[in-house]
Amino acid sequence: MHTFQGTGKAIIYCLSENPGLTVKQTYHRILPVIPRPISYQAVHKKIMELEQVGVVERKNNLCFLSNKWLAEMAMLAQHAMRKIEIINDSMTDYHTIAEIREYYIQRYTNAAGDPNTLYKGNENGDWYERKDS
């Protein structure tokens, strides 16, 4: 069983494993995975905070992770995985920091190799030339 240092993390994990719990059920489920004693009121307060920031939704007094928040986390995870793949690919081909830096300079400058052309990432993790107007 995994132990969580934060109440919020424990609540999120609990609701990911058991969607549709009441606050009281959530409280009883996270007690074994939190290393320090915690009150029901503290769990209730944390669930309310998570609800205010859009992580948790309550329907008929049952707690669920927000579909919107889950979609955002999935996009973030997918983006991070793409970046890790790029780094892992470059790490197998290049053995020094200088070689990796040169790889990125070549990849993100224009075909002529002009280092003054700036490129930025978009929300899809793709790169494009920045146009300053």
Residue 93 counted as domain residue: yes
Instruction: Check whether residue 79 and residue 58 sit in a common domain.
Output: no
Are 10 and 18 within 8 A, CB to CB?
A: no
Instruction: Check whether residue 122 and residue 95 sit in a common domain.
Output: yes
Number of structural domains (the chain) is 2
Nearest in space to 23 (alpha carbons), one of 51, 47, 42: 47
The predicted-structure confidence for 36-87, as pLDDT tens digits, reads as follows 889 999 999 999 999 999 999 999 999 999 999 888 888 887 877 777 766 6
Residue 26 counted as domain residue: yes
Instruction: Check whether residue 60 and residue 110 sit in a common domain.
Output: no
Instruction: Check whether residue 80 and residue 120 sit in a common domain.
Output: yes
Instruction: Check whether residue 74 and residue 123 sit in a common domain.
Output: yes
In this structure, the dihedral spanned by the alpha carbons of residues 106, 107, 110 and 113, taken in order and rounded to 10 degrees, is 0
- Note the pLDDT of residue 93: 61
Kindly list the distances between the CA atom of residue 99 and the CA atoms of 93, 96, 111, 114, 115, in Å, as whole numbers in the listed order. Answer: 9, 5, 18, 18, 16
- Does the predicted model carry a pTM greater than 0.75? no
Structure tokens at 122: 């978009």
Residue 1 counted as domain residue: no
Residue 2 counted as domain residue: no
State the greatest distance between any 2 C-alpha atoms of the chain, in Å, as a whole number.
63
The predicted-structure confidence for 73-131, as pLDDT tens digits, reads as follows 888 878 777 777 666 665 556 556 666 566 655 655 444 444 444 444 445 555 444 44
Range of the domain at 18: 7-65
Instruction: Characterize the bridge pairing of strands 127-129 and 119-121.
Output: antiparallel
Nearest in space to 1 (alpha carbons), one of 42, 29, 38: 29
Q: How far apart are CA 51 and CA 128, in angstroms?
A: 37
